[in-house]
Amino acid sequence: MIDHMQHQLQIIPIPAFKDNYVWLIHNNHKAIVVDPGDAIPVINTLQKLNLDLQTILITHHHQDHIGGVDILLETYPDVKVFAPKLEQYAFTHQRVGEPDNVYLGDWISAAKVIDVPGHTLGHITYYIEHWQNEHQQQWLFCGDTLFGAGCGRLFEGTPAQMMTSLQKLAALPVSTQVFCTHEYTLHNINFALTLEPTNKALIQRHQDVLALIELGLPTLPSTIALELATNPFLRTDVTEIQSSLFLEKPTKLQTFTKTRELRNSY
């Protein structure tokens, strides 16, 4: 049972390193952080907002996503850590994977775990459906699988695995807010425009993102609807993209693979 006296939640990005975001979910009392690669900005934010850290969610094993966990556990020894069951971690944690539902506390709905191999073989995402002000909100914390107008590099998985993983995320409700962990949106949009220069939604997103950056604001979260309209990795059946890749009657996988190859060197 969710405590309705504390159900008004906020989600804020904590900048880390050059372009990482550690996402902080809180109700003005208790807090959850996702992929804390650096503990110091997280601790500073928790202390500034007078929040009690309860839970850490990990999407995959890369250091810029887990580097702050040990210090956070020293500082907040009662914190629970959830991490992918198909990966190895030195810190104490609960191993989770699809179709697990992670109980996060009485103040927030449980998180559904979705397996998304590609960036790493054990990568997972956390999907939350939460009621606020009599409206259901959907939140996806997707690590390095889905980015604003892009997707993660294939360090361990295959193009087929990553494409399948992205299709799973694309099938979520279109109103789902997408909380990626890197500020790559503008660069991804610039690349997408080389493949689909007449996409009006993409052109508009480019203008919107430039305005956000000018104001010093994050370009995230995105939404599934916006990604479906502008993300080339979710648009592998679009003729203009296929033509830009000089592919004749390609499969979706061939289009995806070529797009990822070009993005690697863009």
Pairing between β-strand 135-141 and β-strand 177-179 as defined by DSSP bridges: parallel
The confidence score (pLDDT) of residue 8 equals 84
Q: What is the CATH number of the domain that holds 154?
A: 3.60.15.10
In this prediction, the residues of the chain whose per-residue pLDDT falls under 50 are: 1-6
The confidence score (pLDDT) of residue 72 equals 98
Longest dimension (CA), the chain: 58
- How far is residue 204's CA from residue 212's CA, in Å, rounded to a whole number? 13
The confidence score (pLDDT) of residue 133 equals 77
Q: Is 119 a catalytic residue?
A: yes
Q: Is 52 a catalytic residue?
A: no
DSSP 237: T
Q: Is 7 a catalytic residue?
A: no
Residue from 26, 65, 123, 206 carrying the catalytic annotation: 65
Q: Strand ranges (DSSP E) for 215-262? A: 222-223
Helix, strand, coil shares of the chain, percent, nearest 5, are 35, 25, 40
Cα 145 to the center of its chain, rounded Å: 7
Q: Is 35 a catalytic residue?
A: no
Q: What are phi and psi of 152, to 5 degrees?
A: -75, 155
Q: Is 187 a catalytic residue?
A: no
Structural domain total, the chain: 1
The confidence score (pLDDT) of residue 7 equals 56
111's CB contacts (< 8 A; 6+ apart) are: 57, 101, 102, 104, 126, 127, 128, 141
Residue from 26, 35, 38, 60 carrying the catalytic annotation: 60
Residues 156-212 pLDDT 10s: 999 999 999 999 999 999 999 999 999 999 999 999 999 999 999 999 999 999 999
Task: Domain of residue 222: give its range.
Answer: 4-264
- How far is residue 232's CA from residue 196's CA, in Å, rounded to a whole number? 8
Residue from 61, 93, 123, 182 carrying the catalytic annotation: 182
**Is the peptide bond between 197 and the residue preceding it cis, with omega within 30 degrees of 0?**
no
